[in-house]
Amino acid sequence: MITVENLTKTFTLHILGDKKIEACRDVSFRVPPAGFLGLAGPSGAGKSTVLKCMYRTYLAGSGAIRYQSATHGMVDLATLPDQAVIDIRHREMGYVSQFLKVIPRVSALNVVMEPIVSRNGVTRAVARKRATSLLERLRIPAHLFDAYPATFSGGEQQRVNIARAVSWQPRLLLLDEPTASLDQDSVGIVLDILKELRQEGTTMIGIFHDAMLLQSVTDSVYHIG
């Protein structure tokens, strides 16, 4: 499904007299369809950088990120034109970071409904039902469904963030410490949701702050650094 070959990313820090920082070097791994790969390594090893290169938040320096797209055939996300990347993101690829990117003046329910409506092409009623059941399952209190997530606690924001990312069942899901700010019970619920998503066929690559968690949820682990 996805094969990363010798991915290297270097940043040039102009503020430090063009000092070069190698964020990741020669990263290579392969993930089969519906596989779940974990990325492990010390802080600063380049784990987030690898995910950001895959999502194309960062442009890879060198190497290849070969992805068997459902709509674009075999592509290299390291060099694919922006427009095609945006289209693949929209149709196939999800990304969850540790923090919710709050969308101003959009209610929690709408934050979760929006990708279901726009990507799954279902009616608003169907999307509302799915979004409501996800938020309930993630134990967001019902009185918050119509409130703005900007005012939520860190843990609540993160649960809305996860609900939004999984709601439309992306084909490929990238997870960057999605459970770092959650309590034990919430972590368990999120893991169950990820397991179900995988059974539906979603391929995942994830970074988890806890080694036990990483082992329990993934089926192989790639160590960086």
Ligand X SMILES: Nc1ncnc2c1ncn2[C@@H]1O[C@H](COP(=O)(O)OP(=O)(O)O)[C@@H](O)[C@H]1O
Q: What letter would DSSP give residue 19? A: E
Structure tokens at 150: 């900007």
Measured from the CB of residue 45, what is the shortest distance to ligand X in angstroms?
Answer: 4
Nearer to ligand X, 48 or 157 (CB): 48
Structure tokens at 100: 């919710």
Residue in this structure with the two tokens 């034990």, named with its chain if needed? 184
Choose from Mg ion, ligand X, none: what does 23 bind? Cβ within 5-8 Å by kind.
ligand X
Binding status of residue 43 toward ligand X by CB under 6 A: yes
Question: What is the C-alpha end-to-end distance of the chain, expressed in Å?
Answer: 24
Window 99 to 128, contacts with ligand X (CB under 6 A): none
Choose from Mg ion, ligand X, none: what does 11 bind? Cβ within 5-8 Å by kind.
ligand X
Enumerate residues 6+ apart whose C-beta is below 8 A from 54.
Answer: 2, 4, 65, 77, 174, 205
Window 3 to 32, contacts with ligand X (CB under 6 A): 11, 21, 23
Measured CA to CA, the distance from residue 191 to residue 80 in angstroms comes to 32
Nearer to Mg ion, 53 or 111 (CB): 53
Count interface residues toward ligand X (CB under 6 A).
Answer: 11
Q: Is 173 exposed, middle or buried (0-12, 13-18, 19+ CB in 10 A)?
A: buried
Beta strands in 32-136 (DSSP E): 36-40, 62-69, 73-76, 93-96
Binding status of residue 49 toward ligand X by CB under 6 A: yes
Nearer to ligand X, 47 or 164 (CB): 47
Nearer to ligand X, 27 or 117 (CB): 27
Nearer to Mg ion, 48 or 203 (CB): 48
Binding flags for Mg ion, 19-48, as an x/- string (CB under 5 A): -----------------------------x
Nearer to ligand X, 180 or 191 (CB): 180
Measured from the CB of residue 103, what is the shortest distance to ligand X in angstroms?
Answer: 23
User: How many alpha carbons fall within 13 Å on the CB side of residue 187?
Assistant: 15
Measured CA to CA, the distance from residue 25 to residue 43 in angstroms comes to 15
Binding stretches for ligand X (CB under 6 A): 11, 21, 23, 41, 43-49
Binding stretches for Mg ion (CB under 5 A): 48
